[in-house]
């Protein structure tokens, strides 16, 4: 019963992509309609899998066609466990919202066929990534999501910044992908199978050195995909993408693939010496530095991008300290409120025509609906009680206090405060204060956008209630992870009575107050000017990127000179090569 | 004496070649008297289609009785997995290129020579795949080289085309001489030219090692090992697009197969696998780096061929060094995939050159910026080029990913550290290659063209059909890689089992 | 190193090879390059005959040498044909001038 549903979540969107490409751009209304239809159906299929969550692996078909040749391809298998289904539901449902939003956002744009086709291929690939039980197919779908991400970031091909952003995202995430490739190949070559549950059960069969290699290789892959330090530079530049794409791919789904990878393989790697510490350090550095960068950014989408990076850092930190369920829960909350924030920001940008916050201001009066949903998202981000962000962030910090080093906990606490600070800043600069340009014409969100935003806002209030069922399903279907199942009420009480919760709430309050009272705290801001400078220059990471690119370009130009065009030189190279190889081989015989 | 069915393909193609030329000459005689008919190009398709039928029978007989060896006078010939693999790519790409060339080369002076030489080259390459005699190998190899010299320099009105042709000729001929010297050395040391007998009597002596090196460097010119590759960017970019596709897709791989046949006979003389893998790494890095700086589309694709030869060399290097099949299987699969993808890329790029030629009558090199915005008017060639190029970059769900995966897995399976390091190096190179493939795709889908838009011309079906077929293959092999196992596994088997112990 | 006939011919082969390789690296005239290639091929042919003698397979050595003679004549013909065309289009036979394609 499960299999057809799983196949639907993957191949129905792909079918939709082909259909939309086939009808060409002559009929945009049909394209919009088809896109919405296919994505909603996929979302329903994903929700229909929920009752069937289990750790049971099912094979769809084997890619071996001839029994005589030992196959390198294995089979396409699926494991509908809680984490996988969660990610699939997020991808398809939030995917539908993003597509519904696009009906209004991309109204009148050219090359819609390409846009919708790529988004649908992405949704299918994301479902495949989350649900598959084969390492080969994990990598297969992982790479497809990278391809779609690149194509969508550089959707506006005529804008060189968009093209550069797309290529940069592709190259950096692919570099990390080499880690996933290497690790997967080592596992396959040594254990003889691509099967993930098999690996989790037998991870001790690998020698400690090999297991450590795989563990750190996978960490590199996750860090690159989820834009963690030192790979975080691609996500801010990816904001050139149309905003629904940013909401879906770069907030709710693709960047979560890295977290998913760490989560999935945690039981195998937890015992590798130094691995958990490395994960904590990566998560911590990322969360803290990205929060600082968000606090000084002037482009609305950039603030949200850095904020995503920072929140992903929280999830990575949670895994590092052993709170895998906390990471899962925060992933869920974050997907909802970040998608909400991005889509709402999209409504603002679409209306005002700029992404710079200092050219906005005072929009709250003219766009009350958008202002309200945006504030809901911002409150969830900051971690204000009742909203889903509060519960999941508290769970993360609590796990940090219990399972991780104390100094790390303090940093994360400070980051929570900075998060509140920049959330407040974002809301204020966009919706309050004086308008930068009093003569502008802005309109509030229309039907399509509202239809997409309302469920997400509702979710920001309510998804935390699913903590109990989620932990139950996880405990049931993820036998290696040792998750402790509790009901939602138990979770709520546990969080409310924990002292760390109230410490965090006070830090958050302090963060909010610091922003509101910034006029009176100028002595503090002048003291921290060096920090602001560093944050605006991304703490030197961009410089490193540019350095690497420059080195490669310089060596390419140098090598190019060897193609002199002179036949004598070519022949000299031939003779020289002959002599050298002769010497090497004869000396070795 | 009964010969295997497979062999009949060779005389079929070789005899058809002068016949097509004859028909072509008769046509031009008739044309000067006013009666214009154009039969020769279509005639060239007939022997190819017949060859497919023969190939079908050959596969049937192979699956029944395995590899067959026989003697043709004193020359030992063998039809095994490698012969079938080579014949598959030769016939496959050859048929599509002939079809594509029918409208593409229409009206060119000397058109009948093109088809005649192309058929001859195809026949000779099939012959190369089934020989087990060292000197016979050289003869087929030389015949292939000579027929390709004329095809590369086909546009004899263009100075650059002649320049690339003469450089190719001189370098290739030098390589041939080195191979001859190697043959002489082997003959003097072992007293035989039969590869099977050589592999039995080969000892690790310095002279045989020197012979091996001479073979490596001599064939290496044809395979475009760095630093012997300097003819390749010029030749592949100046040749007519169908020939560029053939050169990159089949000819350099044929050179590699010739080298592998010989090195496997000399296997216990030196560690050739390590050497091949080393060259592979050099090719990958060099090809990728210099491709970054290219502004001409066909030159970029030529350098990309260098780096893909690197992957193939890596796969075979792993197999020869460790005796495991998987590396050879992956490399064979990559030969097929590279032929499809690079062939598709060159043919698709050729469409844009055809369009430019149609509008302005000139044959200037196609620049990347000339591609801007062309996807709007010509969606199918643009999509074909994008698929080809993204597949070359190794992105799923396209074919290139699957064959690279197989090669990389083989590297780890050898359990040697140097192999694992090379695999990581190769994977990083794959990422680097995306940096020059993706700007091509982005440029195609721009909305503002670089030059003012001209009227859309109808692309003939004979040009679009190969594009569509190859595009579908790129996607199908990416999703169902096991489809080619029946071809790649026997080829790998033939190579590895044929290694001298 | 005794001065047997085989050794003398061997020295001759090496000598021709040396001249040939030196010529490839330094000569600028296209026709001369084709001639040098032919020189190299002749060296290889003599090598083949010699190899046949040394290993006792005289027939094999001589038949391969004869085949190569014919085959490489074809190469020379094609090379010279290209040289004629180059002289027509470029106006020169100096290969250092034939360097439009670089980089």
DSSP A231: S
8 A C-beta contact, residue B134 and residue B186:
yes
Cβ contact, residue pair A140, B396, below 8 Å? yes
Look at residue A61 in the predicted model and tell me its pLDDT. Answer: 65
Q: C52 CB near a chain B CB, below 8 Å?
A: yes
**A272 beta partners:** none
- Mark yes or no for CB contact B184/C37 under 8 Å: no
Who wins on pLDDT, B196 or A170? Answer: A170
- pLDDT score, position C67: 94
What pLDDT is attached to residue B154?
93
Above 50 in pLDDT, residue A149?
A: yes
Quote the pLDDT of residue A70: 57
Tell me, what DSSP letter sits at residue A72?
A: S
| Residue B333, min C-alpha distance to chain C (Å) | 31
Give the 3-state secondary structure of residue A59: strand
pLDDT at position B267 is 87
8 Å CB contact between B312 and B289: no
Beta-bridge partners for A59 = A77
Chain C residues interacting with chain A (CB cutoff of 8 angstroms): 21, 24-26, 28, 33, 95-96, 98-103
- Residue C78, pLDDT > 90, answer yes
Buried b (16+ CB within 10 A) or exposed e, A384-410: beebbbbbbbbbbbbbbbebbeeebbe
Name the 3-class secondary structure at B224: coil
- Is the pLDDT score of A99 beyond 80? yes
pLDDT for A1 equals 61
Nearest to C51 among B159, B173, B188 (CB): B188
Cα(B283)–Cα(B225) distance, integer angstroms: 6
> Could you tell me if B350 and B100 are in contact, meaning their C-beta atoms sit under 8 angstroms apart?
yes
For residues A482 and A243, the model is more confident at A243
A297-306, A355-364, B207-216, B390-399: least confident range: A355-364
For position A373, what pLDDT does the model report?
92
* Interchain CB distance below 8 Å, A565 and C95: no
Token digits of residue A444: 């509030």
Query: Closest partner residue to B170 among C37, C68, C89, by Cβ?
Result: C37
- How many angstroms separate the CA of residue B429 from the nearest CA in chain A? 10
**Partners of residue B275 in chain A, C-beta under 8 Å:** 581, 585
Q: What is the pLDDT of residue A69?
A: 52
Q: What is the pLDDT of residues A403-414, one digit of tens each?
A: 878 888 999 999
Token couple for C40: 């190299």
Name the more confident of A581 and A359.
Answer: A581
Yes or no, beta carbons of A574 and B431 under 8 Å apart: no
Residue A504 pLDDT more than 90? no
The residue of A129, A183, A561, A577 whose CB has the most chain B CBs within 10 angstroms, and thus the best one to mutate to test that interface, is: A577
DSSP letters, A81-128, are -HHHHHHHHHHHHHHHHHHHHHHHHTTT-S-HHHHHHHHHHHHHHHHH
B-chain residues near C80 (CB < 8 A): none
Q: Is A62 on the interface with C (CB under 8 A)?
A: no
Determine contact, residues A25/A143, Cβ cutoff 8 Å. Answer: no
The nearest CA of chain B is from the CA of A305 a distance in Å of 24
Interface contact B149-C54, CB threshold 8 A: no
Whether the CB-CB separation of A116 and A20 falls below 8 Å is answered with yes
- Find chain C residues with C-beta within 8 A of B166's C-beta: 30, 79, 82-83, 86, 95, 98
pLDDT of residue B244: 95
Nearest to B216 among A190, A573, A581 (CB): A581
- Chain A closest-CA separation from residue B26 CA (Å): 39
pLDDT at A94 over 60: yes
Residues from B contacting C (CB-CB < 8 Å) are 135, 139, 142-143, 145-146, 149-150, 153, 156-160, 162-167, 169-170, 173-174, 176-177, 180-181, 183-193, 233-234, 237-238, 293
B153 and C82 within 8 Å at the Cβ level: the answer is yes
Burial class (CB in 10 A: 0-12, 13-18, 19+), A418: buried
Q: Phi, psi at residue A211, to the nearest 5°?
A: -60, -40
> Chains B, C: CB contacts under 8 A, how many?
122
For residues B382-402, one letter each, b for 16 or more C-beta atoms within 10 angstroms of the residue's C-beta and e for the rest, the string is bbbbbbbbbbbbbbbbbbbbb
Q: Which residue has the tokens 């998060």?
A: A419
Burial of A414 (0-12, 13-18, 19+ CB in 10 A): middle
CB A483 within 8 A of CB A467: no
Gap from C83 CA to chain A (nearest CA, Å): 14
Chain C residues whose CB is inside 8 A of the B149 CB are 75, 78, 82
Cβ–Cβ gap B190/C50 under 8 Å? no
Question: What pLDDT is recorded for position B102?
Answer: 93
Share of chain A above pLDDT 70, in %: 97
Q: Please provide the DSSP assignment of B115-136 as one string.
A: HHHHHHHHHHHHHHHTB-BHHH
What's the pLDDT at A72? 76
* Token pair in block for residue A38: 């296919």
Mean pLDDT of A335-364: 90
pLDDT, one tens digit per residue, over A267-289 is 999 889 999 999 999 999 999 99
**CA distance linking residue A34 with residue A39, whole number of Å:** 8
C21 contacts on A by Cβ (under 8 Å): 575
> What does DSSP assign to residue B481?
G
Averaged pLDDT for residues A429-437: 84
Instruction: Give me the pLDDT at residue A68, please.
Output: 45
Would the pTM count as exceeding 0.90? yes
User: What's residue A534's pLDDT?
Assistant: 85
ipTM over 0.90: yes
Q: DSSP string covering A238-268, please?
A: GGGS-HHHHHIIIIISTTHHHHHHHHHHHHH
DSSP B368-390: GGGGTTHHHH-HHHHHHHHHHHH
Q: Which residues in chain A have their CB less than 8 angstroms from residue B447's CB?
A: 110-111, 157-158
| pLDDT tier, A521 (very low <50, low <70, confident <90, very high otherwise) | confident
Q: Evaluate if residue A31 carries a pLDDT over 50.
A: yes
B478 to chain A: closest CA residue: A140
Beta-bridge partner residues of B77: B70, B131
Distance CA B487, CA B501 (A): 25
> How far is the CA of B104 from the CAs of B243, B386, B388, C91, C96, in angstroms?
11, 21, 20, 30, 33
Could you give the percent of chain A with pLDDT greater than 90?
A: 48
Whether chain C has a CB inside 8 Å of the CB on A441: the answer is: no
CB A190 within 8 A of CB A208: no
DSSP one-letter string for B257-300: HHHHHHHHHTTTTS-HHHHHHHHHHHHHHHHHHHHTT--BHHHH
Q: With CB atoms and an 8 Å threshold, state whether A560 touches B170.
A: no
The string of pLDDT tens digits covering residues B201-255 is 888 888 999 999 999 999 999 999 989 999 999 999 999 999 999 999 999 999 9
Number of neighbours of residue B486 by Cβ within 10 angstroms: 17
CB contact under 8 A, B174 and C71: no
Gap from C97 CA to chain B (nearest CA, Å): 10
Distance from the Cα of C40 to chain B's closest Cα (Å) equals 7
Stretches in chain B below the pLDDT threshold 50: 1
Query: Measured between alpha carbons, how far is residue B422 from residues B278, B281, B317 in Å?
Result: 9, 7, 11
Asked whether residue A79 carries a pLDDT value surpassing 90, the answer given is no
Query: Kind and range of the H or E element at C99?
Result: none
pLDDT at position A67: 42
Task: Please name which of B253, B186, B278 lies closest in space to residue B500, comparing C-alpha atoms.
Answer: B186
Give percent helix, percent strand, percent coil of chain A, each to the nearest 5.
Answer: 80, 0, 20
Element (H, E) at A68: none
Encoding tokens for residue A532?
């602001």
pLDDT score of B108: 84
Whether the pLDDT of residue A219 is over 80: the answer is yes
At residue A132, what are phi and psi to the nearest 5 degrees? -80, 150
Question: Closest approach of chain B CAs to the CA of A65, in angstroms?
Answer: 6
Distance CA C39, CA C32 (A): 10
For the stretch A391-402, pLDDT in tens is 899 889 988 888
Question: Can you spell out the DSSP letters for A485-539?
Answer: ---HHHHHHHHHH-HHHHHHHHHHHHHHHHHHTGGGGHHHHHHTHHHHHHHHTGG
* Average pLDDT of the residues of chain A: 88
């Amino acid at each position: 019963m499960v299999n057809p549903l799983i196949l639907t979540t993957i191949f129905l969107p792909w079918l939709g992509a082909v259909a939309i490409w086939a009808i060409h751009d002559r009929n945009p209304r049909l394209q919009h309609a088809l896109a919405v239809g296919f994505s909603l159906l996929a979302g329903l299929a994903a929700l229909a899998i929920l009752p069937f969550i289990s750790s049971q692996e099912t094979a769809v078909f084997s890619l071996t066609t001839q029994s005589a040749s030992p196959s390198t391809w294995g089979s396409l298998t699926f494991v509908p466990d809680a984490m996988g289904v969660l990610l699939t539901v997020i991808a398809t449902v939030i995917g539908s919202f993003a597509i519904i939003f696009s009906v209004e956002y991309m109204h009148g744009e050219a090359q819609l066929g390409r846009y919708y086709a790529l988004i649908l291929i992405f949704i299918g690939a994301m479902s495949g990534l989350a649900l598959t039980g084969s390492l080969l197919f994990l990598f297969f779908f992982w790479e497809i999501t990278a391809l779609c991400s690149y194509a969508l970031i550089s959707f506006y091909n005529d804008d060189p910044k968009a093209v550069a952003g797309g290529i940069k995202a592709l190259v950096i995430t692919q570099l990390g992908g080499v880690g996933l490739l290497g690790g997967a190949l080592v596992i396959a070559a040594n254990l003889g199978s691509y099967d993930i549950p098999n690996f989790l059960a037998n991870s001790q069969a690998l020698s400690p050195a090999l297991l450590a290699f795989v563990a750190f290789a996978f960490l590199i892959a996750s860090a690159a995909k989820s834009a963690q330090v030192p790979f975080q530079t691609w996500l801010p530049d990816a904001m050139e993408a149309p905003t629904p794409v940013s909401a879906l791919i770069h907030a709710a789904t693709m960047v979560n693939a890295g977290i998913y990878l760490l989560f999935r393989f945690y039981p195998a790697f937890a015992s590798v010496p130094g691995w958990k510490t490395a994960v904590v350090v990566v998560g911590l550095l990322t969360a803290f530095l990205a929060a600082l960068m968000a606090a000084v950014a002037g482009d609305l989408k950039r603030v949200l991008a850095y904020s995503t990076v920072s929140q992903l850092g929280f999830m990575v930190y949670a895994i590092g300290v052993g709170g895998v369920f906390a990471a899962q829960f925060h992933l869920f909350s974050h997907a909802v409120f970040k998608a909400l924030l991005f889509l709402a920001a999209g409504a603002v940008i679409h209306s005002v025509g700029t992404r710079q916050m200092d050219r906005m201001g005072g929009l709250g009066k003219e766009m009350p609906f958008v202002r309200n949903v945006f504030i809901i998202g911002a409150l969830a981000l900051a971690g204000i009680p009742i909203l889903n962000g509060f519960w999941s962030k508290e769970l993360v910090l609590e796990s940090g206090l219990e399972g991780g080093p104390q100094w790390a906990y303090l940093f994360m606490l400070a980051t929570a405060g900075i998060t509140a600070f920049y959330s407040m800043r974002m809301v204020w600069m966009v919706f309050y204060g004086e308008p930068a340009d009093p003569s502008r014409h802005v309109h509030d969100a229309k039907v399509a956008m509202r239809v997409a935003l309302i469920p997400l806002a509702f979710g920001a209030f309510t998804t935390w209630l699913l903590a109990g069922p989620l932990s139950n399903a996880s405990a049931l279907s993820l036998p290696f992870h040792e998750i402790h199942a509790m009901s939602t009420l138990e979770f709520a009480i546990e969080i409310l009575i924990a002292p760390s919760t109230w410490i965090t709430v006070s830090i958050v309050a302090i963060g909010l107050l610091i922003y509101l009272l910034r006029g009176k705290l100028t002595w503090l801001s002048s003291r921290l000017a060096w920090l602001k400078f560093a944050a605006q220059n991304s703490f030197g990471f961009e410089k490193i990127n540019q350095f690497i690119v420059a080195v490669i370009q310089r060596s390419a130009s140098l090598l190019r000179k060897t193609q002199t065009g002179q036949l004598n030189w070519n022949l000299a190279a031939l003779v020289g090569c002959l002599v050298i190889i002769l010497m090497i081989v004869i000396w070795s015989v | 004496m009964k010969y295997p069915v497979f062999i009949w393909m060779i005389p079929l193609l070789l005899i058809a070649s002068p016949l097509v030329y004859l028909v072509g000459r008769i046509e031009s005689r008739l044309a000067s008297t006013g009666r214009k008919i154009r039969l020769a190009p279509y005639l060239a398709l007939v022997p190819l289609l017949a060859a497919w039928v023969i190939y079908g029978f050959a596969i049937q007989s192979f699956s029944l009785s395995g590899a067959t060896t026989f003697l043709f006078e004193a020359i030992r010939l063998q039809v095994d997995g490698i012969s079938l693999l080579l014949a598959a790519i030769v016939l496959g790409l050859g048929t599509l290129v002939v079809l594509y060339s029918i409208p593409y080369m229409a009206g060119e002076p000397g058109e009948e020579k093109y088809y005649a030489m192309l058929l001859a080259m195809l026949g000779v390459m099939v012959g190369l795949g089934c020989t087990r005699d060292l000197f016979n190998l050289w003869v087929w190899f030389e015949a292939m080289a000579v027929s390709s010299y004329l095809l590369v320099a086909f546009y004899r009105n263009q100075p650059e085309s002649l320049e690339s042709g003469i450089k190719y000729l001189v370098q290739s001929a030098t390589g041939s001489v080195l191979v001859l010297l190697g043959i002489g050395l082997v003959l003097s040391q072992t007293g035989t030219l039969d590869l099977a007998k050589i592999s039995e009597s080969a000892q690790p002596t310095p002279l045989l090692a020197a012979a091996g090196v001479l073979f490596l460097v001599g064939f290496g010119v044809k395979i475009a090992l760095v630093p012997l590759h300097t003819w390749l960017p010029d030749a592949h970019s100046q040749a007519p697009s169908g020939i560029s596709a053939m050169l990159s897709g089949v000819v350099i791989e044929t050179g590699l197969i010739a080298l592998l046949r010989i090195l496997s006979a000399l296997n216990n003389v030196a560690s050739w696998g390590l050497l091949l893998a080393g060259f592979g790494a050099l090719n990958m890095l060099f090809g990728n780096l210099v491709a970054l700086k290219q502004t001409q589309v066909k030159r970029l694709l030529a350098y990309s061929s260098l780096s893909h030869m690197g992957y193939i060399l890596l796969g075979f290097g792993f197999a020869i060094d460790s005796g495991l099949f998987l590396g050879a299987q992956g490399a064979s699969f990559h030969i097929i995939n590279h032929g499809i993808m690079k062939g598709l890329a060159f043919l698709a790029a050729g469409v844009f050159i055809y369009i430019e030629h149609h509008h302005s009558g000139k044959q200037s090199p196609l620049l990347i910026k000339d591609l801007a915005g062309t996807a709007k008017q010509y969606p199918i060639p643009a999509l074909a080029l994008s698929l080809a190029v993204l597949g070359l970059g190794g992105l799923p769900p396209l074919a290139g990913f699957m064959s690279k995966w197989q090669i990389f897995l083989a590297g780890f399976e050898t359990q040697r550290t140097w192999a694992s390091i090379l695999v990581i190096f190769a994977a990083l190179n794959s990422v680097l290659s995306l940096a020059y493939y993706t700007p091509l795709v982005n440029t195609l889908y721009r909305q503002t063209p670089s030059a003012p838009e001209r009227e859309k011309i109808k692309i003939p079906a004979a040009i679009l059909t190969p594009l569509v077929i190859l595009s579908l293959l790129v996607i199908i092999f990416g999703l169902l890689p096991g489809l080619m196992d029946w071809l790649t596994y026997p080829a790998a088997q033939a190579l590895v089992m044929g290694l001298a112990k | 190193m005794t001065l047997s006939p085989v050794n003398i011919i061997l020295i001759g082969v090496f000598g021709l090879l040396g001249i040939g390789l030196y010529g490839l690296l330094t000569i600028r005239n296209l026709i001369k390059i084709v001639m040098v290639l032919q020189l190299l091929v002749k060296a290889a042919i003599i090598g083949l005959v010699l190899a046949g003698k040394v290993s006792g397979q005289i027939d094999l050595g001589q038949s391969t040498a004869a085949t190569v003679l014919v085959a490489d004549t074809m190469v020379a013909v094609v090379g010279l044909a290209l040289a004629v065309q180059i002289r027509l289009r470029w106006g020169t036979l100096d290969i250092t001038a034939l360097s439009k394609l670089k980089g």
